A and B are shown apart, each in its own frame.
Chain A
Amino acid sequence: MKPFVARLMAAAALLSIPAALSAHRMWLLPSATVFSGTDGWVTVDAAVSNDLFFFDHQPLRLDAMKVWQPDGSEGILQNGATGRYRSVFDVKLDKPGTWKISTQMSAVMGSFKVDGVEKRLGGRRGPPQPNAPAPLTVADIPANATDVKVTEVSGRNEIFVTAGAPTTTVFKPTGKGLEFAPITHPDELVAGETAKFRFLVDGKPAAGLKVTVIPGGKRYRNDEGARELTTGADGVLSVSWPTAGMYWLNATLTDAKATSPRATERRMSYVTTLEVLTP
């Protein structure tokens, strides 16, 4: 019995490695993306889960959530609350134009060995544990460390909602990391039409970028329905929309242009949720 249990535990340990590596999907789900008038409200669900768009795993924390008004200035997030499975908040769309709601993260991750013992940089996932030692930073890497591998990680998760006629001020790129520079306005997507979105890395077209597009409503169909697309040489992605609905879009890119001390690699991700309407 004992060997069997040991084998089982070893198998479980093996299985848990890929599970830990494959991050769950983070998503923001607006109640709608197209609004009439300037007295409307959008309410947004924010969660982390595998099946889109069902909250069944973790809430997406609101600490870094920001609202950008159509003129590019910062707006107000209201009625924020975080539950067991999702966070929720409202934004009053009191100015005409396109609003951006986004959260950004950047961190340094990695590992190194001292006397053959592996140590990891950065905090662990999940809520802080009491009595846990402070997470290690790059500054804590001793001179005799070997196998130092430091990775810069950054991500954006954005949604766009429009009151009245759409505007484009909120798409102005910062020139840092992986960014979304739509050619087709993301609040003008219609089933049967092809949308074109440009992606930028450090302000330049991201050619050959891998982008995943997954329709919502996973629970009510068998297949995942994910499409793996690639941007062209001009960084432009063409996406067709077979049916109306909410779609989750995720682009990831790894390169060697890290700027943090000792980092040799940087991993960037971009996530947005797009609403496609019927013609």
Chain B
Amino acid sequence: MRPTAFLLLGGAITAPALLSPAVAAPPGAVTITIPRLDVAEYHRPYVAVWLEPVGGGAPRTLAVWYDLKKRGNDPGTKWLADLRAWWRKGGRSMTMPADGVSGATRTPGQYTIPLPADVKPGQYVLNVEAARETGGRELVSVPLTAGARTTGKTELGVVAISAR
């Protein structure tokens, strides 16, 4: 292990461009924070995560967390439209549940979603939208570059892109 690290370091010195790997490395994952909220009635938020090309183009949904198991007159899918930015950007033409995309709602905490490997080169914005029953709704956007991060104000905490 140690010799390899030494070799890599040596390689970095000979190639100055690699000295700042955080800039050069492609983005590999997004970490989303669902904050713990001190409210009388708490429900886990619906969350959508999607990529949008900067110059316009088809958005790509990476994750949708909703109440998968709720059935009956008001199934969990009924409230997906409350993620209104995502809904308008393509959520409305998806079929739920979606393989590898949809999942159950999450408790407060940090979650890391790996970015798909087949994203075409180009500039993207990563969007995270959260909507909570009896609560608020928030949309947070961050450029898709490793090291980029932002913090939501109400329904979302830190959203950070890490290197591959």
Q: Which residues of A contact B (CB under 8 A)?
A: 34-37, 39-40, 162, 164-166, 188, 190, 277-279
Contact B92 A36 (CB under 8 A): yes
The one of A37, A190, A278 in contact with B77, judged by C-beta atoms closer than 8 angstroms, is A37
Contact A35 B81 (CB under 8 A): yes
- Given A165-B92, A165-B93, is A36 in contact with B84 using a C-beta cutoff of 8 Å? no
Q: Give Cα distance in the complex from A278 to B80, angstroms.
A: 16
Residues of B within 8 A of A40 (CB): 78
> Residue B14 at the A interface, CB < 8 A?
no
Could you give, for residues 62-96 of chain B, a 1 whenever the CB lies within 8 Å of some chain A CB and a 0 otherwise?
A: 00000000000101011111001101100011000
Q: What is the interface residue range for chain B against chain A?
A: 10 to 19
26 chain-A/chain-B pairs, Cβ below 8 angstroms: A34-B84, A34-B87, A34-B92, A35-B81, A36-B77, A36-B78, A36-B79, A36-B81, A36-B87, A36-B92, A37-B75, A37-B77, A37-B78, A39-B73, A40-B78, A162-B92, A165-B92, A165-B93, A166-B92, A188-B88, A190-B88, A277-B84, A277-B88, A278-B84, A279-B85, A279-B139
Q: Give Cα distance in the complex from A164 to B90, angstroms.
A: 10
Q: Give Cα distance in the complex from A137 to B80, angstroms.
A: 53
Q: Give Cα distance in the complex from A166 to B90, angstroms.
A: 11
Residues of B within 8 A of A164 (CB): 92-93
Query: What's the nearest-Cβ distance from chain A to residue B64, in Å?
Result: 11
Known: A34-B87, A36-B78. 20 other contacts (CB 8 A): A34-B81, A34-B84, A35-B81, A36-B77, A36-B80, A36-B81, A36-B92, A37-B78, A39-B73, A39-B75, A39-B78, A40-B78, A162-B92, A164-B93, A165-B92, A166-B92, A188-B88, A190-B88, A277-B88, A279-B85
Contact residues of B: prevailing secondary structure: helix
Q: Which residues of B contact A (CB under 8 A)?
A: 73, 75, 77-81, 84-85, 87-88, 92-93, 139
Residues of A within 8 A of B78 (CB): 36-37, 39-40
Residues of B within 8 A of A34 (CB): 81, 84, 87, 92
Residues of A within 8 A of B139 (CB): 279
Q: Give Cα distance in the complex from A34 to B92, angstroms.
A: 9
Query: What's the nearest-Cβ distance from chain A to residue B127, in Å?
Result: 11
Query: What's the nearest-Cβ distance from chain B to residue A217, in Å?
Result: 20
